[in-house]
Structure 1
Amino acid sequence: MKDLLYKIAISGSVKMASAIIAFFLTVVVARTLGADEAGLFLLVVSLLASLSVFFRLGLDGVILKVVGAEGLSDKAQAQLRTGLCWIMLVSLPMALGISLSAEWWAVSLFDKPAFSPVLRWAVWALPCMSMFMLLAMGFIGLHQVVLGTLFQNLGLATVFLLLLGAYHYWWPESLSAQLAAQLYMLAAVAVGLLAVTLWVINPQVSLFCRTSVKSPKLWAASSNLWVANSMSLAVIWSGVLVGGAYLPTAELAHLSAAQRTSNLTSFVLMVVNVVVAPRYARLWAEDNQDQVRSLARWSTRCMIVLVLPVIAVMMMLPSYIMSIFGEGFEQGAILLMIMSAGQFVNVATGSVAYLLQMSGHERDFRRVTLFAGPLAIIAAVAFTAQWGAVGAASATALGLSVQNLGALWMVKKRLGFWPIG
């Protein structure tokens, strides 16, 4: 238990730094670019976050599970190499296609012509993001929490902020959403190169040996998670992405800032998941179901205790928190309150997604997301058209709540216990 607490403390420190950096990134972008330009940039960041998950093809959970259970075995490394090949084969052509058709996306899909140059540059970050985020799962499976967190989100945000800060110091008059997109792309390339370098310097790793692209077993394992992850994307990002088509850029900036602020509450869940997910995989492989139940309940109780003060602050001081982003952002106070409520349900239900995935019940998690994902999309379109940004925020909170409560019920049905019990 002491070892587990130590790893959670380390993970917590790194994840907290990551959450603060992500929040700081939104603040800096909003204050530096202004609401309209910030809205365009934050929209492309949300789009990239969605696409990078989609083009990881459900491999995250597979790699985490096999590396967490077997370490750097030949099987684990072969699956990782094949997965990386798949990612490059699908994400590079897609990046090229989106870049060449950026004007169509900007006008026809989002009704924002100024979005075209932003998307044209930023989309080239997609292959690198997909690659280093999959490698992050390998590091987490090896219990290298700091490196895993670095390549999940901390590294990209940090490098981007350093580049943006340098430009703001030397050439402040040249700052724009397009320039920010170019810097974001460069930051993704730099972090991708670092991830590959740190992985291959491990003497047990053979990343560049001959690799077979065909792997029916790997596809069978990842396809269920791919569907589930794609539907989870709809739950998390449909509000902002649908808002990109319906809302003015200033309101879109308010919505994006509120969502990214509410995401601070979920850092507690991310901290615990980084540590306990590989343990779930190992304990389940050892048929130690009592320890799985004990670990799940203990971790969920800890998360609830830790997240309650954060939620309380966001509910009591929403206008003050949103005003940090700049003049006019306090109008997004109600958006922050709505999204924080959804994030509380997300955290309070515990690591239900990983419990199902690490115990071999990927199909059950897929069924939950196949209900929650379309519901979130339909709600986002209907609510945003009717109530604007408030509707988009409500759709996100509804989708999160339905998905996590559904997964909670499925854990009880398949594993025989309530994680919050």
Structure 2
Amino acid sequence: MIKKKIHRAIQSFNPLKQLMASGGLTFMFRIGGLGLNFLVIYIITHTYGDGVYGSYSLAFTLAQATGLLFALGFPNAIVSYLGLKSINHPFSQHMLKKGLKLLIPIALVPLVIYFFGSEFIAVHIFNDPAFTSYIAIAAITVPAMVLHEFVLYFFIGTGNFVKFNIFMFVVPNFILLALLFFIKNVPGHHTFLFYAISVYSVLAIELLFALKRHTKADIETVSLRQMVKFSSPMMFSGIMMYLLNWTDVFMLGAMTSSEELGHYNLAYKVASLGMLVIMSMNVVLAPRIAALFSEGNLHELHKTVKKTTHLIIVLTVPLVLGIILFSDFILTFFGKDFSGGHQALIIISVGFMLNAATGNVDQILNMTGNQKILQNLTIGGFVINVALNAALIPRYGINGSAMASLITNVLFNMVCVHYIKKKLGFYTFA
């Protein structure tokens, strides 16, 4: 029955075949990447313990959130600017090089802040002096994460989905696994140092594939002021969207033990399997939405969004139900202590399933000139999430944080659906 629905959804809209092909490729790469990522978690938890994994995950979340902030929204902006132009197109190379020149000096700012403020942040914010080393490593990691993210989205904007998938999911995980496997008997914070090495390595490799020689043709130029004005709402919405999903990690890091944080983070990563389909479709759908909107073809845009959302629902529901059914088995695979995240996993999974039902709402707003609306909605969602976490964590622990995440994400997605209807005239699922 499910197979027939998928086939009917694909056949009923021809352009969706192309989206499905690229999205399916990303889906397979993302599954492989998650498998490698879970192998990383397995090695860290079994070699160094769940406390080290809790610190590793907190440092990673902090570095990634900082990277999103200092990327200035350029990754999403370049997708909108390029609209599937060739990687060799003079304008594509112009935007890539202009973005890199701007981001390199900006990315050095968090390096200085975190490096010299590592002890203060560890002691006074996270109440964990041992976390100082992780923050110092995060300092040198953030610049590479900023540039890595920008180049990845450059590949999306130019339609190079295979390169995006390889450099996003395969190369960094293989490098990290190799370091974890061959280098033993080191302090726990070296696990995050290995991650830093993997990011710098993959950045060096992907730049060789992204940067091309091109003649200085008569191309449309974009000023720095125009780029910042266009991308700044995307920057705020991007960082707020990230914090919307990861506020619980930061607050649990400040309010609970590193062991509990490790249990929650693993539960969240397992639950995020339920977002595989929607995140995979996001990669290929964003440039398609940008292209259709720039052409003024709202009818085709609506058709694409509706069919994609239906497909996401059909594929996501059985996936999430499977995660819930086998949740205890999956968690205890990483260690018996991780069974404490069982209820949190179920709560988060339900929230992700409801998210999938609304479709790719954030990218629709971002790619249709409504990035300021998305910015305001994400700020509101962030405030609500912080308030709920502050109220529920002291009483319910990691389950309270999971409930806060569920409530916030459902509210956020429903409001996004309302604004898409108001601005574009259609619902994502109808």
Q: TM-score, normalised by structure 1?
A: 0.92
2:318 maps to 1:309:
yes
**Which amino acid in the other structure matches residue 258 of structure 2?**
T
Q: Displacement of 1:88 after TM fit?
A: 2.0
Cα deviation digits, residues 152-178 of structure 1 (max 9, x gap): 4543333212211112xxx3x33x321
Deviations 1:26-51 (A, max 9, x none): 23322221111111111111212211
Cα deviation code 1:89-120 (max 9, x no counterpart): 22213112212221111111101111111221
Deviation of 1:70 (Å): 4.3
**Aligned to 2:418, which of 389, 398, 409?**
409
Superposed, 1:21-420 pairs within 5 Å as 21-68=36-83, 70-71=85-86, 73-167=89-183, 171=184, 173-174=185-186, 176-200=187-211, 202-204=212-214, 215-420=224-429
Structure 2 length normalisation: TM-score? 0.90
Identify the range of structure 1 (380-389 vs 331-340) with the bigger mean alpha-carbon deviation: 380-389
SS at match of 2:83: helix
Whole-Å separation in 1 of the counterparts to 2:62 and 2:143: 13
Tell me if the contact between 2:127 and 2:254 (Cα under 8 Å) persists in the aligned partners: yes
Alpha carbons of structure 1 residues 185 and 249: separation in structure 2 relative to 1, 3 Å: same
Q: Distance in 2 between matches of 1:152 and 1:51?
A: 18
The number of residue pairs the alignment matches comes to 410
Structure 2 distance, partners of 1:88, 1:128, is 9
1:85 CA drift (Å): 2.9
Please tell me whether the aligned partners of residues 231 and 374 of structure 1 are also in contact (alpha carbons under 8 angstroms). Answer: no
**Which deviates more from structure 2 when the two are superposed, residues 283-292 or residues 3-12?**
3-12
Q: Is the 8 A contact 2:84 2:159 kept in 1?
A: no
One-letter amino acid of the counterpart of residue 195, structure 1: E
Task: State the distance in 2 between where 1:12 and 1:131 align.
Answer: 24
CA distance in 2, matches of 1:213, 1:411: 28
Counterpart CA distance in 2 for 1:355 and 1:139 is 19
- Write the distance in 1 (CA, Å) between the matches of 2:36 and 2:60: 15
1:398 Cα shift? 2.3
CA distance in structure 2 between the aligned counterparts of 1:225 and 1:281, rounded to whole angstroms: 14
Tell me the percent identity: 24
Give the deviation of 1:69 after TM superposition: 5.1
Root-mean-square deviation (CA, aligned residues, Å) is 2.0
Q: Aligned with 1:43: secondary structure?
A: helix
- 3-state SS in 2 of match to 1:235: helix
In structure 1, distance between residues paired with 2:352 and 2:273: 9
Give structure 1 stretches of 5+ with no counterpart. Answer: 207-211
| Structure 2 stretches lacking a partner, 5+ long | 1-13
How far the C-alpha of 1:303 sits from its partner, in A, is: 0.8
Q: 1:71 to 1:405 in 2, by over 3 A?
A: farther
Cα contact 1:323–1:330 (8 A) shared by 2 = yes
Change (3 A) 1:328 1:410: same
Deviation at 1:296, TM superposition (A): 0.5
> Which of 25, 33, 42 is residue 10 of structure 1 equivalent to?
25
Contact in 2 for aligned 1:234/1:377 (Cα 8 Å) = no
- Please state how far the C-alpha of 1:244 moved relative to its aligned partner: 0.5
Could you tell me how far apart the structure 2 residues matched to 1:400 and 1:193 are? 36
Cα pair distance change 1:205/1:347, threshold 3 Å: farther
Task: Give the 3-state SS of the residue equivalent to 2:426 in structure 1.
Answer: coil
Cα distance between partner residues in 2 of 1:163 and 1:401 = 39
CA contact (8 A) 2:289 2:364 kept: yes
Taking the aligned partners of 1:133 and 1:193, their CA distance within structure 2 comes to: 13
Shift of 1:25: 2.3
**Counterpart Cα distance in 2 of 1:162 and 1:283:** 43
Contact preservation (8 Å) 2:85, 2:158: no
